[in-house]
Amino acid sequence: MSPERRQKIEFAPEMVQAYAATFIPRYDRYPIQKPDGNYLALKRPLHLSIIEGHLKGLVTIGAYALSEQSQASWVCFDADQPDDWQALIGLSQFLDYECVQSYLEQSRPERGGHLWLFLPTPLPGVDARRFGKQLLAGMNLSHIELYPKQDALRTGPGSLVRLPLGIHRLTGRRYPFINADGSLLAPTIREQVAMLADPERMPKDYITEVLNRVPPAEPVFPTRPFRPPPKNRIVGATPSERIKNCISVHDFISQYVELNKNGKGLCPFHDDHVYSFGVNEQGNYWHCFAGCGGGSVIDFWMRWRKLNGQDDSFTATITDLAKMLL
C-alpha cells in the first residue's frame, strides 16, 4: 500500500459510517485487538470515532460475524497457509466466472488472507454458513475456516474477524484488498475504504441457487436401535420422575451417542471434534464442555428434538419420552 502517513489520512464521516455498515453487525459492544494480536471483548458502545480511529491506525478492532439476532451480512473465509490462500484466490476467480464479486484481503503477505462475500440482505447465520460451506465443498476446501463460526448465538457475541484496513497490532502492518493477480484493488487506503463502503453484493439468485444445492439437514439417527428399559423400574409420582427413574442417563444416551468407556463422546449438539460430550455415571447426568448444556434424560431429549426440528417444549418432550419409556 502506498506510504500514506497515518495521521494524514482523513475520512469523511459518511464514508466511515458506510464502511462500518459493510462489516459491523452490532454496536452495543466490540472487540479490541491487544498488542499480542488477541482480542479483548469490550461491553461498551462502538462509536464511529472508534472505527475512524481503526482506519487511521490508532486502534484496531474486530468485527463480530453475527448480529444480536444471529443474522450475517457477510461470509468470510480465512486461509492461514499458502496453499489455502492460493485456493481462496482460485475460488475468487471461479466466482468471477460466475459473475459474482468477492473480495480478497491479504494478511501475512504471500501466506494467507481472507475472502469476503457480501450478502444482498442479512441472512440467518445458519443459512450464511450453509452457503459458505457449500461453496467450500464445491472446491474441496471444506477444511478452510468459515466465518460466522456459529449458526446462531447462544452465549456471548460469537466469532469475529479483524475489521479490515486497520493495523495488525502484532505485525504493525496494514493489509490491503487485492485482485486475484496480486495487484491492489485500489491504490490508496482511502480508495479501498471507499470501495468497501459500497461493495458489490452477491446476487440473491446465486445464493438461492447455491443453497438449493444442499439438502436440508438430515435427521440424526440413533447409534443403535432403541431398547426400552424393564418395566419394573418405573416408579415416581410424576411422569418426569418416572422417566428419570426408569433408565439411567448413560443407558439412554449411549443409544444416541457413541460413548467410550469413560463415558465421553462427540457432542451431537455442536460441531465437535474433541469429545466435549460426557456422561457422568455416578452423578447420572450428561454435560457438554463446549457450552451445549447438560442435565437429565429429559434435558437431553429436549435438545435432541430441537436438533431434529421437532417441538422441544417440556410438555412435548415428556409426552414423547413417556411414550417411548413408560
User: Which residues of the chain form contacts with Zn ion (CB under 5 A)?
Assistant: 267, 269-270, 288, 290, 292
Q: Which is nearer to Zn ion, 29 or 287 (CB)?
A: 287
Residue among 13 and 291 whose Cβ is closer to Zn ion = 291
Mention every residue, 6+ apart, whose C-beta is less than 8 A from residue 271. Answer: none
- Judge contact between 234 and 242, C-beta under 8 A: yes
Min dist. Cβ of residue 222 to Zn ion (A): 18
- Which C-beta is closer to Zn ion: that of 241 or that of 271? 271
If DSSP codes are grouped into helix, strand and coil, which group holds residue 74? strand
Find the shortest distance in angstroms from Cβ 294 to Zn ion.
9
Pick between residue 47 and residue 154 the one whose CB is nearest to Zn ion. 154
d(CA 39, CA 210): 33
Q: What SS3 state is found at 54?
A: helix
Query: Which three-class secondary structure string do you get for 107-169?
Result: ECCCCEEEEEEEEEEEEEHHHHHHHHHHHHHHCCCCCCEEECCCCCCCCCCCCEEECCCCECC
For the bound state, the minimum distance from the C-beta of residue 47 to Zn ion, rounded and expressed in Å, comes to 36
Beta carbon nearer to Zn ion, 274 or 290: 290
CB of 263 to Zn ion, least distance (A): 15
CB of 66 to Zn ion, least distance (A): 18
Nearest Cα neighbor of 134 from 124, 144, 120 is: 144
CB of 198 vs Zn ion, minimal distance in Å: 40
Over its C-alpha atoms, the chain yields an Rg (Å, rounded) of 24
Quick check: 107 and 77 in contact, CB under 8 A?
Answer: no
Q: For residues 94 and 275, which CB has a smaller minimum distance to Zn ion in the complex?
A: 275
Residue of 11, 58, 88 lying closest to 174 (CA atoms) = 58
Q: How far is the CB of 268 from Zn ion (least distance, A)?
A: 8
Cell digits of residue 186: 485500489
* DSSP track, 245-280: HHS-HHHHHTTTS---TTSEE--TTTT-SS--EEEE
Our CB check for Zn ion shows the closer of 184 and 307 to be 307
